[in-house]
A = this chain, B = another copy of it.
Amino acid sequence: MQLSIRMKTIAPMKSPARFIDVKALASAYAQPLAQLDNFLEQQIAAFEPEVRPYIAETFKHKGKRLRPLLVLLAAGWAPAASQKAPEDVIRACAIVELVHLATLVHDDILDEAEIRHGAQTLNTQLGAHQAVLTGDALFAHALCLAADYPGTEVCRAVAAATRQVCSGEIAQTFARGDAAVSIVNYRRFIDLKTAELFAVSAWLGAWIASKNNTLANAAAQFARHLGIAYQVYDDMLDLRSQEQKAGKTLGTDWATGKFTLPFILLWQVMPTSESQALQQRCVAGNISLEEMEQFFQHFQIDAAVMQWFEAELTAAQHSLEPHADTAAGSLLPELVTFIRSAMQRLLPGYHG
């Protein structure tokens, strides 16, 4: 098999890490990502004529393609490879990107509803309805593509992950306004809503390329920890960008009652009575972000977040150690470097 031959020719890469940011990573995988763009473009014809503009619109927002990159690295695909990536690997990239795009489309419904609160027009609502159905069609098409593999493993993995992603979003939305959300639940929410799709991306890549279930499960385990670390980074990014755009609080986690890791870690280290009082002020919206940041600084919450974040990255690396001699086992850890660098740029005060 062409793929397994290629995989064996790749020597494990220890250091230096080459992918210190997502741009370097995307550039090394420009060829298969262009194949993905083409593949997605071709899918538009599978939808009814009236639906195609909506699907095409969705495809315009490319994002970082993190999940397809996970597929490619887990498939052991060599960076900057000049040959074309196999169709079944690209199809897996498309599946996870379609599921991701569908969740974004459905998430936007809430965001838009909030931003335009009190000023809704019928048009906006028709737009929301179209968004619901467009997301549904994207989900369904991802499953159609999953059914194109021999065997039901891919179907089952994608359908289960999709259900978990939705469950995670529901569970976290359900906990909105609960400042005392437990760290166990916070981790469960981000495990479901983010890490699950990371895990299935890596599983698909490794499984399709190697048919080795042990390797695929290890890659999935790696990607699950990575996904949790990535969501922690994303939650910190939300908090810190909110700070930069003072006054514009709508659409960010805190303003919508979503209490993320720094808050939860703060409650843990504060004296109980102070913590409860602060939680009440937070829920009532009776505190500025500037004042909150003083609490975070005083209790060294950035360092605590970093510790929690690093624990996930370490667990991710451990998951792949038994497979260090495989292409997937040597490529995937580079994502740890990339996510760590991003976090270090966000929290420059932290020096390990």
Residue numbers of A with Cβ under 8 A of B are 46-51, 54, 102, 106, 109-110, 113-114, 117-118, 120, 122, 125-126, 128-130, 132-137, 139-141, 143-144, 146-152, 155-156, 158-160, 162-164, 166-171, 173-176, 188, 192
Contacts and interface: CB of A to CB of B under 8 A. Distances in A.
Q: Which of A102, A122, A162, A167 has the most CB of B within 10 A?
A: A167
Nearest to A109: B132
Nearest 3 interchain pairs by C-beta: A143-B159, A140-B163, A147-B156
B130 A173 contact: yes
Number of copies: 2
A135 B137 CA distance: 12
Nearest to A117: B122
A118 B141 CA distance: 35
Given A155-B155, A162-B136, A170 B128 contact: no
A114 B122 contact: yes
A144 B160 contact: yes
23 contacts: A46-B163, A48-B164, A48-B167, A48-B170, A48-B171, A50-B171, A106-B136, A109-B129, A110-B132, A113-B120, A113-B125, A113-B129, A117-B122, A126-B173, A129-B173, A132-B132, A132-B135, A134-B170, A136-B166, A137-B167, A139-B162, A144-B160, A147-B155
A309 to B, nearest CB: 24
Nearest to A132: B106
Given A50-B174, A136-B136, 14 more contacts: A46-B163, A47-B167, A48-B171, A49-B171, A51-B167, A109-B128, A110-B126, A110-B129, A132-B132, A137-B163, A137-B167, A148-B152, A151-B152, A155-B155
A146 B155 contact: yes
A109 B148 CA distance: 32
